Amino acid sequence: MGAELAGALAAAVEAENRVNDVLCGHLTPEMMDAQTPGGGMTVAQHLAHMAGSTKFWLAQLDGDAAQPLPVLYDETKTDAFVAQGDPARAAAVMREVWTMTLHTATAATSPGNLPHPSPAQFVLHMLGHTAYHRGQIALALKVGGFPLPDANRMWGPLRGDA
């Protein structure tokens, strides 16, 4: 991967981590139970899915890199998606998953078993995926009557704000 592309991906992942930190710093345990309309996932489930799906696809690139990463749901439950409800833990796990994802993708010389043409495109796909779920979280909070995070703090990192 070229140095310029690796630098751009690193900046995007750092912005991702900062946005997730702002979001999770805003959340309370009560907010974690807010649900998207129509019986959708709770905020906690969205966060668990964001980290878990990134970890799942990272395992297709490098199973050894993904294996030790934590999850935000109860792996012993096979009949239910039970997500943990601690926003601070969610932020820490997502940061750990994204740090390993960036490290592994920038060091990779092939896409491994990913359905992506390159490790860089895998990272871009997952960045878009988590942005989608942050939108779902905002919807769950809004319809649940909870305040949304400050828009400037939330989206500032993606604009390059300090």
Residue 14 main-chain phi, psi, to 5 deg: -65, -40
The verdict on whether residue 133 carries a ligand-binding annotation is yes
What is the DSSP secondary structure assignment for residue 32, as one 8-state letter? G
Q: Which helix (H) or strand (E) holds 25?
A: helix 3-26
The verdict on whether residue 129 carries a ligand-binding annotation is yes
**Which three-class secondary structure state does DSSP give residue 83?**
strand
Which of 83-101 are b and which e, b meaning 16 or more Cβ less than 10 Å from the residue's Cβ? Answer: bbbbbeebbbbbbbbbebb
Q: Which helix (H) or strand (E) holds 139?
A: helix 119-143
**Which three-class secondary structure state does DSSP give residue 38?**
coil
The verdict on whether residue 49 carries a ligand-binding annotation is yes
Q: Residue ranges for the binding site?
A: 49, 129, 133
Q: Residue ranges for the binding site for a divalent metal cation?
A: 49, 129, 133
